[in-house]
């Protein structure tokens, strides 16, 4: 019997990169933040809150924790809508 299971979806079992970038870029542009996909791609894995903070800082846009909460919630909603863009890797 197992005591725990470790599950890694993003980038391990499924190619979620496109959906992640679309969701972040859509939300960031609504907030007036313009960063490249390459900028965001390097941040994937540090968590949505930290990605938003780094993007807003790079664009010199002030924010508070409530702003970050709002952005994360909007990104999560949009990411769920983009489920059709997620593809499993062969063999997953």
What pLDDT, on the 0 to 100 scale, is given for residue 28?
98
Contact by Cβ (8 Å): 85, 9: no
Residue 92 pLDDT exceeds 70: no
pTM: 0.83
What is the SS3 assignment for 20?
helix
Q: Does domain 14-83 have CATH number 1.10.150.240?
A: yes
**Sequence spans of domains, the chain:** 14-83
What pLDDT, on the 0 to 100 scale, is given for residue 6?
63
What is the SS3 assignment for 66?
helix
What pLDDT, on the 0 to 100 scale, is given for residue 16?
82
Tell me the per-residue pLDDT of 17-75, one tens digit each, with 9 for 90 and over.
899 999 999 999 999 999 999 999 999 989 999 999 999 999 999 999 999 999 999 99
């Amino acid at each position: 019997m197992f005591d725990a299971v470790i599950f890694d979806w993003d980038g391990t079992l499924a190619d979620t990169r496109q959906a992640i970038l679309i969701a972040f870029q859509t939300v960031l542009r609504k907030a007036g933040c313009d960063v490249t996909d390459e900028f965001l791609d390097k941040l994937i894995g540090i968590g949505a809150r930290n990605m938003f903070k780094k993007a807003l800082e790079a664009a010199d846009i002030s924010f508070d924790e409530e702003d970050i909460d709002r952005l994360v919630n909007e990104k999560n909603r949009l990411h769920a809508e983009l489920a059709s863009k997620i593809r499993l890797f062969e063999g997953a």
